Amino acid sequence: MEQLQVDVLVIGWGKGGKTLAGALGRAGRSVAVVERSNRMYGGSCINIACVPTKALVHRAEQRRFADDAQAWFDAAVQERDDLTGRLRARNHAMLKEVDAVTLIDGAARFVGPREVEVTAGGERLRVSAETVVLNTGTEPARPPVPGADGPHVYDSTSLQHVSPFPRRLVVVGGGFVGLEFAGMFARFGSQVTVLNRGERLLPEEDADAAAAVEQSLVDTGVTFRHGTSATAFVDARPTVVVQVDGPGDATDLEADAVLCATGRRPVTADLDLSAAGVDTDERGYIVVDDHLRTSADGVYAVGDVNGGPQFTYISLDDHRVVLSALIGDGSRTTKDRVAVPRTTFITPPFARVGINATQARDQGRAVLVTSKPVADIAAMPRPKIVEETHGLIGFVVDAESDEVLGATLFCTDAQELVNLVALAMRAGVTASRLRDGIWTHPSTTEALNEVLAGLRPLA
């Protein structure tokens, strides 16, 4: 069996791992990157998650009512595949061009501390390293429901290539992934029903924000059944019957396809982590400290597999933490993260940073709050120009310091506006300065002038 010794071994092509491998290789360290699927060069984001799904959302938004749903969806999927193919090839080239980086196709399994066996067909290779970085990510988790492995039941990856296009789609799960796909497929032309176990959508969000999200999707044609769970998926080819349970409408649903948007699980089952001395938590995620060190000496975990926030930009920051440990002064940690924003690409986008009013109330903080429907913000005509006036904008501000503590931005361009607000929070820019800022017109940013003028004590 061939053997390879390197300074750093990266298992998985995710954002954190690939960026770390490139940086270390250019710094003169010998690096090996192992990936089990040649369809995942570059990681989940560019292949099955962030980029392809947003490309589909974009194309769905452009469809007119008279456009044939099947034809429009097929064209959108082809464009999606062309885009991911180009990005995948470029990501592969970016590492292949670094002389100190060795790219290995195959499945890695630990055979000892900082040593793995990589299998590709009948070929095997032993790779050992001074440092190992685990970057294997997560995958969709199917619910423990009879029939969940049936031919008409999909997850967020496989539904992107569903065929034929489902005229009726049932989405199991009212979280952000389920909502993103519900809105997307409704705009593509599906009759979409969302089964949500809770009494309302998004219980961690303020009630007015959750209601605004639901209304925007209802206006798109999505139907919601709250307090309802799927108990079985019965194959009734060419359709599937979704058996349900709940205090509300208990009528079973017949659909052409079902999306199970019921969470994700770490990709660790085949790694044999115990052979490396790497501990996992009760959910299977790799346990790390604030330097992203695992329980095994010289082994780090970056990206979704370490149980942190599952965002590509968090994985990117993970690479900075490990890079600091390996070739820097070791001072960077996950504790350095302040005002980390997030966006869900429903239509319009829903973005949040910091705390919301509900969280401020639960914490007993003395704050000022404001919230205004987008349609009522006179100083922000852009939503009317682009014909998307759903949503609301809200802020939470410290009553004494005027510090911005959080924002809920459900509006056109929210994915950009939230970055401005997050930067203001990190830099200590007060709510008053944002309120009195001079912003371009017509833009979404100028909503700050009007919305922040309405701050009031939290009731």
Residues with a known catalytic role: 441
Q: Is 79 exposed, middle or buried (0-12, 13-18, 19+ CB in 10 A)?
A: middle
Measured CA to CA, the distance from residue 85 to residue 47 in angstroms comes to 8
Measured CA to CA, the distance from residue 240 to residue 233 in angstroms comes to 6
Please, which residues have CB within 8 angstroms of residue 459's CB and are 6 or more apart in sequence?
none
Sign of CA dihedral 187, 192, 195, 198: positive
Measured CA to CA, the distance from residue 147 to residue 366 in angstroms comes to 50
CA nearest to 394, candidates 364, 416, 373, 367: 373
Contact 181, 69 (CB under 8 A): no
Query: For residue 36, which phi and psi values (nearest 5 degrees)?
Result: -80, -20
Contact 15, 86 (CB under 8 A): no
Please, which residues have CB within 8 angstroms of residue 163's CB and are 6 or more apart in sequence?
none
